[in-house]
Structure 1
Amino acid sequence: MAKTDDAATAAGTAGAGGDRLTPVLRPVRAGNGFEEALEQILQLLRLGLVPGGERLPAERELAERMGISRVTLREVLKVLTDQGLVESRRGRYGGTFVLSRPDTHGEDELRRRLAGVDVEDTLRFREVLEVGAAGLCASHGLTAEDARRLRQALAATHDAPLGAYRRRDTLLHLTLAELSGSPSLTARYAGVRATLNDLLDCIPLLVRNLEHSQQQHTAVVEAVLDGDAEGARAVMREHCEGTAALLRGFLS
Structure 2
Amino acid sequence: MSQQERAGLTALSAVLSPLEGSGPKTEAVVQRLSAAISLGVMVDGQQLPSELTLADQLGVSTMTLREALAVLREQGIVRTKRGRGGGSFICSSAEALEHTASARLQQMSLAELRDLGDAQFAIAGAAAVFAARRGGRADIARLHALTDRLRTSTEPVAARRADSRFHIEMAVCAQSTRLTRAQVDLQAELSALIWLPRLELDPAAEASVHGDLVRAIEREDDAAARELAESQSESRIRRLVALRMELSDR
In the aligned structure 2, how far is the partner of 1:18 from the partner of 1:40? 19
Partner of 2:13: 22
Structure 1 segment 164-183 matched on structure 2, within 5 A: 164-183=158-177
Contact kept, 8 Å, 2:16 with 2:32, in 1: the verdict is no
Q: Is 1:88 aligned to 2:80, yes or no? A: yes
What whole-Å deviation, never above 9, does each CA across 1:54-86 have from its counterpart, x for those lacking one? 414533864564356888756754553355330
Structure 1 segment 91-170 matched on structure 2, within 5 A: 96-100=89-93, 101-102=95-96, 104=98, 109=103, 112-115=106-109, 118-140=112-134, 142-163=135-156, 164-170=158-164
Q: Give 3-state SS (helix, strand or coil) of 2:79's partner.
A: strand
Contact kept, 8 Å, 1:203 with 1:247, in 2: the verdict is no
Question: In the TM superposition, what is the alpha-carbon distance from 1:215 to its structure 2 partner?
Answer: 0.9
Structure 2 vs 1, CA of residues 63 and 143 (structure 1 numbering), >3 Å: closer, same or farther?
Answer: farther
Name whichever structure is richer in helix by fraction. 2
Question: In the TM superposition, what is the alpha-carbon distance from 1:117 to its structure 2 partner?
Answer: 5.6
Q: TM-score, normalised by structure 1?
A: 0.73
In the aligned structure 2, how far is the partner of 1:36 from the partner of 1:138? 33
Question: In the TM superposition, what is the alpha-carbon distance from 1:245 to its structure 2 partner?
Answer: 3.0
Contact kept, 8 Å, 1:25 with 1:66, in 2: the verdict is yes
Deviates more, 1:161-170 or 1:92-101: 92-101
In the aligned structure 2, how far is the partner of 1:37 from the partner of 1:26? 15
Question: In the TM superposition, what is the alpha-carbon distance from 1:39 to its structure 2 partner?
Answer: 2.4
Question: In the TM superposition, what is the alpha-carbon distance from 1:122 to its structure 2 partner?
Answer: 1.5
Structure 1, unpaired ranges of 5+: 1-8
Q: TM-score, normalised by structure 2?
A: 0.73
Structure 2, unpaired ranges of 5+: 246-250
Q: Give 3-state SS (helix, strand or coil) of 1:87's partner.
A: strand
Partner of 2:49: 58
Question: In the TM superposition, what is the alpha-carbon distance from 1:116 to its structure 2 partner?
Answer: 7.6
Question: In the TM superposition, what is the alpha-carbon distance from 1:168 to its structure 2 partner?
Answer: 1.4
Q: Is 1:39 aligned to 2:28, yes or no? A: yes
Structure 2 vs 1, CA of residues 24 and 46 (structure 1 numbering), >3 Å: closer, same or farther?
Answer: closer
Partner of 2:215: 222
Q: Give 3-state SS (helix, strand or coil) of 1:212's partner.
A: helix
Structure 2 vs 1, CA of residues 18 and 76 (structure 1 numbering), >3 Å: closer, same or farther?
Answer: farther
**Aligned CA-pair RMSD:** 3.7
Contact kept, 8 Å, 1:37 with 1:66, in 2: the verdict is no
Partner of 1:4: none
Q: Is 1:184 aligned to 2:174, yes or no? A: no
In the aligned structure 1, how far is the partner of 2:224 from the partner of 2:45? 38
Question: In the TM superposition, what is the alpha-carbon distance from 1:147 to its structure 2 partner?
Answer: 2.6
Q: Give 3-state SS (helix, strand or coil) of 1:118's partner.
A: helix
Contact kept, 8 Å, 1:24 with 1:40, in 2: the verdict is no
Contact kept, 8 Å, 1:154 with 1:172, in 2: the verdict is yes
Structure 2 vs 1, CA of residues 75 and 198 (structure 1 numbering), >3 Å: closer, same or farther?
Answer: closer
Structure 2 vs 1, CA of residues 211 and 191 (structure 1 numbering), >3 Å: closer, same or farther?
Answer: same
Contact kept, 8 Å, 2:127 with 2:170, in 1: the verdict is yes
Equivalent AA in structure 1 for residue 73 of structure 2: T
Contact kept, 8 Å, 1:88 with 1:95, in 2: the verdict is yes
Identity %: 23
